[in-house]
Amino acid sequence: MGLKLTDISHTYAPTTPFAVEALANIDLNIEVGRTLVILGPTGSGKSTLLGIACGLVRPTLGSLALDGVNDAGVLVGREAGVGLVFQAPENQLFAEFVLDDVAFGPLNLGLGREAALERARDSLPAVGMDPAVFGDRSPFALSGGEARRVALAGVLAMKPAYLLLDEPTAGLDARGRDGVLAVLDELAPTTGIVIVTHDAEEFLGRADDVLVLAQGRSEYWGPVEGLLANPAPLLAAGLVLPDVVRVLHDARDVGVPIELFTADPVRAARILAAGLAKVRS
Ligand SMILES: Nc1ncnc2c1ncn2[C@@H]1O[C@H](COP(=O)(O)OP(=O)(O)OP(=O)(O)O)[C@@H](O)[C@H]1O
Ligand SMILES: [Mg+2]
């Protein structure tokens, strides 16, 4: 089960002098109830991979299966399918009123107008926006952060089993960021979440699995604990180890017994405290 990508390669403008090999031989499995973080520097192929995962971009090579069924068609926007929040989600908005924009996805899934509006009224508060205040506003008269939240609400309204987010907190202030993270926390147990970012610090603490991309190639794919215990692939991709993980490695280097590495600061503090207690006893 899950959303499975097998041996995916992608070249833009193939057979032309402008060919760009964006991805090579990527394997990936996205499961409901797990959060996958895709990390990589600018131009490493992250957005291309998300486009392929939701069926919007057809890979040059490789295959895609949703819940065991091979599928080359568009998955995004299907009932209980895949939802994608674009890198610049402001560009996703198009309707005259915010409420209609958010209701568009469910309407497109075949829900009646009232049911679709109901979903829209439910999903706006989930991103911290009051439908009574924002519902009748134009999506083009919102701040960047508000527009981003409306775009997220539009995807949430479709209740996707798999939710793909491209740099979901870029450009948000602390409150906007916390709002998005709270939504993700709530959805995490029942949704397959994929977060694309170049910032290891921000999201590794909530990752179950990680894919590290460098120049379109997979440097690491697997559980987050494996990467944090041996972070060489992260550094090879030109990314920075989160501070809390560095603290755990420094502690182990001076003899504190640390068996588990995490980027979640609260868990890291507990692991460090337990290690120090062993040193003292
Ligand atoms: N439509 C396109 N046509 C040709 N080349 C493209 C196209 N879109 C992306 N590329 C190239 O493919 C590579 C991967 O791009 P992609 O947008 O997937 O990277 P990214 O990791 O999402 O980068 P960023 O962090 O800057 O968003 C880059 O070299 C980029 O220049
Ligand atoms: Mg991108």
- Strand pairing report for 61-66 and 69-70: antiparallel
Q: What pLDDT is stored for residue 108 in this prediction?
A: 87
Nearest CA to 191 out of 152, 136, 239 is that of 152
Which residue of 8, 26, 48, 50 sits with most ligand 1 atoms within 8 Å of its CB, as the best mutation to test the pocket? 48
Enumerate residues lining ligand 1, CB below 6 A. Answer: 12-13, 20, 22, 40, 42-48, 87, 198
Could you say which DSSP state residue 73 is in?
A: S
Vertex 164 angle, CA 215 and 9, to 5°: 35
The superfamily CATH assigns to domain 1-81+160-228 is P-loop containing nucleotide triphosphate hydrolases (3.40.50.300)
Atom of ligand 1 nearest to the CA of 49: 18
Element at 229 (helix H, strand E): helix 224-229
* Cα 113 to Cα 98: distance, rounded to the nearest angstrom: 15
Over the Cα atoms of the chain, what is R_g?
20
pLDDT tens-digit readout, 132-152: 999 999 999 998 888 888 999
Please report, for the chain, the start and end positions of each structural domain, with discontinuous segments joined by +: 1-81+160-228, 242-281
pLDDT tens-digit readout, 37-94: 999 999 999 999 999 998 889 999 999 998 888 875 666 666 668 888 888 877 888 8
Nearest CA to 55 out of 69, 46, 65 is that of 65
Q: Average model confidence (pLDDT) for the chain? A: 92
Which residue of 44, 49, 56, 167 sits with most ligand 1 atoms within 8 Å of its CB, as the best mutation to test the pocket? 44
